[in-house]
Amino acid sequence: MKQYGITAFLALLLAVLGGCGESNDSVFQGYVEGEYLYLASPRAGRLEKLLTERGHIVETGALLFELEAEHERYVLRQAEHELLSAMAQLGDMKTGKRPEEVAVAEAQLDQAKAEAANVIALLRRREKLIAIGGISKQELDDSRAAAQTATARVTELARQVDVHNLPERKKRIEAQQASVKAAEARVAQASWELEQKRLNAPTSGLVYDTLFRQGEWVSAGNPVVQMLPPENVKIRFFVPEPLIGGIRLGSRVQVMIDGREAPISAAISYVAANAEYTPPVIYSNETRSKLVFMVEARPELTAAASLHPGQPVSVSFP
């Protein structure tokens, strides 16, 4: 605010002094102003790479600087491994048991079928012998019990083989799918944290200044690069109170700059709501013409890139 006040005072003083020798009341004094972008990382760290210099013109997306990020890279690698593990478990659940495990179960089933066939064959022989009194009733009952046990064992193993060929239960699969999503979220978070240690240009424009040197420690939120995009360049000039009523937003003005033969065109983007005056005077009908209003105009982008903040200008309406 203090800097703006000094700048405005000097500009107004220039207007007053210029008015002493200026016979054309339709020419207004002013200066070039810039709205800077101060680019910072939300994370702290040592400045590892500074990839631009003041005075450079950079394009949108250009990498400007990187802070050291070994910890963030480690966290990202860990999150990626956890995701791969969770995805592998989910895939295993969906495909059932491994082929080797299924083969073991099938071998056990074949063995149980063979044993059941032997037991059933023995039962059939004893059923014939019981009719001629060749065996006791107890021996026949034992054979029947053994046959039932063997048959039940075959049924059990057959179902186990079927289960081995099935995927996990739906609820377990859903739980593992949730684990995969959680792992994906951790990878996304770790990637975002890593990206905070590097900054790309949000727009094209002039690198007005670099505020740290490579190797220095940068606190979180401290700007490293100061940029001035051409769309943030504006012309600021001052219009006497009697003329302010005829100025409208969007109106075109001609801006004369030292060293340029032809004026550049600009569009009015702001008209101050309150008047300023310098030197201080007592407001009255006799002195009201000394009051001025600050007006801002945006030059065309092709011309804005060649303008410099603080540069004096003269503004007129076509």
What's the whole-number mean pLDDT along residues 19-39? Answer: 76
d(Cα 285, Cα 275) in Å, to the nearest integer? Answer: 15
What pLDDT score was predicted for residue 157? 76
Task: Tell me phi and psi for residue 41, to 5 degrees.
Answer: -100, 140
pLDDT of 64-99, one tens digit each?
999 999 999 999 999 999 999 999 988 877 775 566
Task: Decide which of 241 and 192 is more confident.
Answer: 192
Range picked from 137-141, 204-208, 273-277 for highest mean pLDDT: 204-208
- Higher pLDDT residue, 298 or 124? 298
Whether residue 317 contacts residue 251, with contact meaning beta carbons closer than 8 Å, is answered with yes
pTM > 0.75: yes or no: no
* E-state strands within 51-201: 57-58, 63-67, 198-200
Does the structure show a pLDDT above 80 at 236? Answer: yes
pLDDT recorded at residue 8 = 47
Q: Hunting for tokens 């005077």 — which residue is that? A: 281
d(CA 253, CA 298): 10
Entry field: residues in the chain:
318
- Of 35-49, 199-213, 262-276, least confident by mean pLDDT is 262-276
Task: Please report the pLDDT score of residue 10 as a whole number.
Answer: 44
